[in-house]
Amino acid sequence: MSKHPLQFLEIPRKDPVKEDAAERVKHFGEIYESYDGASAAAQAGRCIACGNPYCEWKCPVHNYIPNWLDLIEQGKLFEAAELSHQTNSLPEICGRVCPQDRLCEGSCTLNDGIGAVTIGSIEKYITDEAVKLGWRPDMSHVVDSGKTVGIVGAGPAGLAAADVLARQGIRSVVYDAYPDIGGLLTYGIPPFKLEKQVVDKRREILEGMGVRFVLNTRVGEDKPFDELLEEFDAVFLGMGTYKYVRGGFPGEDLPGVYEALPYLISNIYRELAYDDASIPYIDLAGKNVVVLGGGDTGMDCNRTAIRQGAASVRCAYRRDEENMPGSRREVANSKEEGIEFLFNRQPLEIVGKDQVTGVKVIETQMSEPGSDGRRRPEPIAGTEQILPADAVVIAFGFQPDPPAWFQDFSIETLPSDRVRVTTAGDYMYQTSNPKVFAGGDMVRGSDLVVTAVFEGREAARSIAAYLGV
C-alpha cells in the first residue's frame, strides 16, 4: 500500500508531542498533542501492509488498520473515518485509552526493533479531525424498521449497541444513572487520559443518528424494568462492574483508606464542577499516599493523587513489572510524574488505630504460571516491612454487582455474578430472558473499553436478528 516501500526505515516512529511532566502534573488536561495531517500521513505510511496483519487480529474489534492507515497516507480523511467506524463505535476514545502496547502496536511487525506504527494516535486523529471538519456517519441508506430497543447503561457497551442498532434502522433509548453519558469513560477515566468534551462530541454524533438518552435515571428504581419490557421490542443491559475487589486483609475499613472508583469519581465530579453531596471530594493534597494495585485503574489513582498535590505517591504491586496488567505507557507516564513503584510487594495489613498510618507488605518472588497463564507471586518469609502512609487507595479491580430485580425477570447470573448469556447459536449475548441481551463488563468481567465496545456491537447484531431486521 505504501508509496515508499522503505518508509518505515526512512521515517522513524514519532509519537505526538507529550507535555513535560513538570507542567502536566499541574492540571488534569490531556497530555498528548495531536498529529497534523502531514505527520499523520507520514506515520501512517510506515505501515508495510503485512499480508496477514497481526495488528488487526490482536485488536478486539478487528479494526481494518492497514486499510485506514493507507487512506490517511493518501489524505482521504473522511473515507478513513467511515472505514474506522465500520468496526469501532468509539474510535477516538479507544485511540486514547486502549493499551496499544499490548494490543495492535504490540503485534505490529515493526515492533521488533524498528518501532511500531503509531496506530492509536492515528486512530484518534482520524475521528477528531474528521468530526472537526464536518464528517458525520452516513445514515442516508438507513430505513426505519419500526423496532425499538431500551438500553440500560450509557457506557461503552451501551453506546456501541446504540450505534449499531441505529445503523440497522432500530431506534434506541439509553438510560443511565449518571447526569452525563459515558459511564466510566466519563466518571472513571481521568481527564488527563480522556477529556470529557470528547465524550460529549460522541453524544452529539449518536443523537444525530437518532439515539435518545434518558439520564439521572436508575432502572429498577426511577424506571421500573417491567416498563422497559413493555415499551420496547428488546432490551440490552450494559451496566458495567462497580463493586470493588477487597483485599481481605485487616485494616481495609480504617479512615484514610479509599476505594479506587469512589476516589476517581469524586475527583472528576470536582473537575466537572458538579455539586452532589452524596459524592464528597476526596482530597489527597499533602498526604503520603500508597496505591495498591498494578492495573490501569491503579495508574489512574497514582496520577490523580500527584495532580491533587500529594506529598508522595508509592504504588505497591505483588508481581514484578513484567507481569503488571496495566498499560506500559501508563506505567511510564506515572514514573515520569514522580510515582515510586514497589514491585514484588504483597499487602498483608493496613495498619493504624483511628487513622491509617501505613501498609504492612511482604516481598514476593515469581513462581511458575498458574491456570490463568500468569506467573504467581510467592511470599518470601522474613521480608515484612511497613510502608508509612497517610492515605491508601485500593485498586484491585471491580466485579459485577447484579441488582436484586434480575431474579424477578428470569435474568440468570453465574456464580461469579456475571450475567449468563448465550455464547453460540443464532442470538449471541441473549440472556435467560429471551427479550433481554447483555454485554460488556457485566458479562465478561472487568476488562478493557474496547472489549465492551465489541460485545455491545455483537449483541446489537444479535438483537437485530432476533427482531427480524
pLDDT at 3: 56
95's enclosing H/E stretch is helix 91-97
C-alpha–C-alpha distance, residues 106 and 15, integer Å: 15
My answer on whether 386 and 372 are in the same domain is: yes
Question: 139-173 burial, b if ≥16 CB within 10 A, otherwise e?
Answer: eeeeeebebbbbbbbbbbbbbbbbbbbbbbbbbbb
The count of structural domains within the chain is 3
| pLDDT single digits (tens) 11-25 | 999 999 999 999 999
Last residue of a domain, one of 108, 132, 156: 132
Of 397, 413, 437, the residue at which a domain comes to its end is: 397
Taking 60 as the threshold, does the pLDDT of residue 168 lie above it? yes
Q: What is the mean pLDDT of residues 277-304?
A: 96
Same domain, 278 and 407: no
255 and 375 share one domain:
yes
CA distance 399 to 419: 11
- Residue 1 confidence (pLDDT): 44
Question: In 3-state terms, what secondary structure has residue 369?
Answer: strand
Residue 271's region, left for phi above 0, alpha for psi from -120 to 50, else beta, is alpha
Q: Are residues 311 and 392 in the same domain?
A: yes
Q: What is the pLDDT of residues 335-374, one digit of tens each?
A: 999 999 999 999 999 999 999 999 999 999 999 887 777 8
d(CA 12, CA 114): 8
Which pLDDT score, from 0 to 100, does residue 9 have? 78
* Domain, as residue range, for 76: 7-132
Q: Are residues 225 and 254 in the same domain?
A: no
Asked if pLDDT for residue 6 goes beyond 90, the answer is no
CA distances from 252 to 55, 279, 352, 359, 360 (A): 41, 20, 10, 10, 12
User: Looking at the domain assignment, is residue 319 inside a domain?
Assistant: yes
> Residue 87 maps to which CATH number?
1.10.1060.10
- Residue 326 and residue 416 share a domain: no
Contact status, residue 321 vs residue 312, Cβ threshold 8 Å: no
Quick one: average pLDDT of 148-152? 98
Asked if residue 297 belongs to a domain, the reply is yes
213-268 per-position pLDDT tens digit: 999 999 999 999 999 999 999 999 999 998 888 899 999 999 999 999 999 999 99
Describe the chain by its helix, strand, coil percentages, rounded to 5: 35, 20, 45
Domain boundary among 374, 397, 420: 397
Question: 162 and 58, same structural domain?
Answer: no
Amino acid of residue 462: S
**384 belongs to a structural domain:** yes
Q: What is the pLDDT of residue 4?
A: 65
Write out pLDDT tens, residues 412-461: 999 999 999 999 888 999 999 999 999 999 999 999 999 999 999 999 99
Model's pTM, two decimal places?
0.94
Distance linking the first and last C-alpha atoms of the chain:
37
Decide if pLDDT at 167 tops 70. Answer: yes
What CATH code is carried by the domain that includes residue 277? 3.50.50.60
